[in-house]
Amino acid sequence: MQIIILPDAQAIGEWAADHIARRLAAGRLQVLGVATGSSPLPAYDALARRIDGTGAEGSAEGGAPAVSREALETLTAFALDEYVGIEPDRPESYHAVIREEVTEKLGLDPSRVHVPEGAAEDLEAACRHYEQLIADAGGVDLQILGIGATGHLGFNEPSSSFSSRTRVKTLAPQTRRDNARFFSSEDEVPLHCVTQGLGTIMDAGELLLIAYGEHKAEAVARAVEGPLTSMCPASIIQWHHDAVVLLDEAAASKLEHLDYYRHVQEHDLLPDQD
Ligand code: F6R
């Protein structure tokens, strides 16, 4: 696991966009796993600014390659999760969020962008179908992740099995409170969701976890330094062979071994490259 501490959310977005741009330029990224929520938004914005070099002066030292439209047009994307019972055209649905923040911003082909069908009549069949779609696409090359205050990844709340696949879950009360900001009231936040399982997420070739702000510090510390436990589902990233954790100072503030991570970052023998 590589832990990278950056000054703020914008710097995190630039780092993530540089990384994704390099993967795309090197032909190493055909299937991107996307998250909703606030955490990945600066990364999507920064990536959009790199399309065909527009605004690339904001890229990291050394200059990241610009992102070609062709690379994005043939990119396949899979979202992590969706609420149950919310029609895809409702603005609160993750279908709508992905359409607006990812598909349109990055100019992806909408037929290649997939979101779990939380409004399906047969949810179990929809979950199986989603797993099949990911398998048919050859698996996710790089998965962008946020982390919830409960330690969830996707909507895998505490007690989720480490080997779980896409399925229906019940949202934790804390998650419903946290996501009430996207609805008119907390009561409107659905009780249930469809989410990729932890096993599904772990199959991705690479994980990029983004967290910033003090409210994430506790969950980040448990995920990065705590025991591997389904009580903190995000702790499973410790088991992934290629996980990068991008944090700002506030989200990193409860890490016990912070000095060591900074030391590693400062003396990186193999800086981020293709
Ligand atoms: C969203 C998702 C969730 C969020 C997490 C953090 O698709 O899977 O795990 O990443 O709840 O949300 P934000 O980024 O809004 O703090």
**Pocket flag, ligand 1, residue 174 (CB < 6 Å):** no
In three-state secondary structure terms, 113 is: strand
C-alpha of residue 62 to centroid of ligand 1, in Å: 31
CA distance 103 to 105: 6
- CATH number 3.40.50.1360 given to 2-266: yes
Judge whether 50 and 21 are in contact, CB under 8 Å.
yes
- Which of 104, 10, 24, 101 is CA-nearest to residue 60? 10
pLDDT in tens, the chain (274 residues): 999 999 999 999 999 999 999 999 999 999 999 999 999 999 999 999 999 765 544 444 446 668 999 999 999 999 999 999 999 999 999 999 999 999 999 999 999 999 999 999 999 999 999 999 999 999 999 999 999 999 999 999 999 999 999 999 999 999 999 999 999 999 999 999 999 999 999 999 999 999 999 999 999 999 999 999 999 999 999 999 999 999 999 999 999 999 999 999 999 887 776 6
Dihedrals φ, ψ of 234, to 5°?
Answer: -65, -15
CA distance 207 to 234: 11
pTM of the model: 0.95
**Pocket flag, ligand 1, residue 118 (CB < 6 Å):** no
Ligand 1 atom 10: the closest Cα is on which residue?
A: 146
C-alpha of residue 269 to centroid of ligand 1, in Å: 32
**Pocket flag, ligand 1, residue 160 (CB < 6 Å):** no
CA distance 157 to 63: 38
Dihedrals φ, ψ of 67, to 5°?
Answer: -100, 125
